[in-house]
Copies of this chain bind each other. A is one copy, B any other.
Amino acid sequence: MKVVLAYSGGLDTSVCVRILQEKYGYDVVTVTVDVGIDKKEIEEAEAKARTLGVVEHYTIDAREEFVRDYIFRAIKANANYEGYPLSTALARPLIAKKIVEIAEKKGAEALAHGSTGKGNDQFRFEAVFRTLVPEKKIIAPVRELNLTREESIAYARKHDIPVAAKKDKPWSIDENLWGRSIEGGELENPASKPSDEIFEWTRVKRKETEYLDIYFEEGVPQKLNGKRFAPVELIMEANKIAGEHGIGKIDMIEDRIVGFKARENYECPAASVLIEAHRALEALTLTRQELRFKAGVEQNWSELVYHGLWNEPLRFALDAFTDTTNSRVTGNVRLRLENKSFAVVSRSSPYSLYSLEAVSFEDKSMNQREVEGILKYHSYQPGRYYAVKKL
């Protein structure tokens, strides 16, 4: 009887392997899905899995798929959940889908994940599991045994599972190509300023002002500084450039799925600059009607994805909306990166709706009197309101 476990090599998922074997009596198949994590970590996960006696271990490189089908969608949707560009949230449905694929291939009876019962990730895993393979059992050992972090460590020690000494770094990390999240310990307190040492991707290495050209085709970034990159490489390069300028730190209060407010810290250098540049190009090429309505599309898209509802059919319809508008979001945006901050300084597009003649103070192609009719009726209804209010 097999279970397929989403395996990171960390404490929680390692404890899960042992619990699944001992408490639940399963043969455990572990799967590490690479959505842009450290190569060393991937190797360590594999070695650790073997040590723990899994019957099989898979490492799946899903980076290309992650960028093409998830990150590029997030850029086109200007992903933003209360200020968060959706790094972890974006990767979970893909990881879950890969787990499902292995489970079907191996004829596993159950799917497992190491998430706790307080967080968001359990929703993101299980929404995919329940939707794609509702007939399979789902096991969440940490939640089912109601383990605290302390208890997980104790369990690990007792069962010869290596525990990295983390006394000095009492926070937990999740990383993928689209961002890095840091949580736990004192970071949870909304009133405490996070210590600098928690940040790794946004340490300033470039101090001089630098310009970065980002070229988009149909809403998708294709070139950086004039050079075309493959999808994964483009995101990595954007992370590197922006991160070395100290750009992409996010410190926020977030409403978790069950309703808890949590203080979160993220590093999202690529997400920060790519989405802002994309927005600037949309401002040039989309009509205000499109921009106005798309704001609501973006809010809903981001909420769905944050909540793990990647497979909700509303998401497909929102993407159809976004793809239609973004067919003209082609052009170049130049950013100035400087002193941990950045700004759009110029943008251009063959589909630009801007017209110099229209706005110039020196141009006479428009007779200014033409607008008089607009002015007369612009406030017609408020005017009626004031008229009747006096009665």
Question: Chain A: residues with CB nearer than 8 A to chain B?
Answer: 82-83, 116-118, 122-123, 126-128, 130-132, 134, 142-144, 146-150, 172, 184, 188-194, 249, 251-263, 280, 283-284, 286-296, 299-300, 303-304, 307-309, 311-314, 316-318, 320-325, 328, 334, 336, 338-341, 343-348, 350-356, 358-364, 366-389, 391
Contacts and interface: CB of A to CB of B under 8 A. Distances in A.
B259 A117 contact: no
A142 B386 CA distance: 29
Given A283-B252, A320-B320, A381 B143 contact: no
Given A289-B304, A346-B191, A118 B358 contact: yes
Contact of A371 (B143, B307, B367): B143
A280 B253 contact: yes
Given A294-B317, A308-B379, 7 more contacts: A117-B372, A191-B348, A258-B377, A261-B358, A289-B312, A307-B378, A312-B381
15 contacts: A118-B359, A123-B374, A143-B369, A253-B283, A258-B380, A259-B380, A261-B283, A262-B354, A287-B313, A296-B296, A320-B321, A320-B323, A339-B339, A373-B373, A373-B375
A384 B355 contact: yes
Contact of A313 (B252, B325, B362): B325
A150 B355 CA distance: 20
A204 B66 CA distance: 41
Given A117-B369, A284-B253, A386 B261 contact: no
Copies of this chain, how many? 4
Contacts of A370: 117, 372-373, 376-377
Contacts of A255: 288, 291, 381
Given A122-B375, A287-B313, A381 B368 contact: no
B293 A184 contact: no
Contact of A299 (B260, B292, B384): B292
Contacts of A172: 361
Contacts of A144: 368-369
Contacts of A132: 386
Contact of A379 (B309, B321, B325): B309
A354 B263 contact: yes
A134 to B, nearest CB: 6
A371 B373 contact: yes
B290 A317 contact: yes
A344 B190 CA distance: 10
Contacts of A361: 116, 118, 148-149, 172, 184
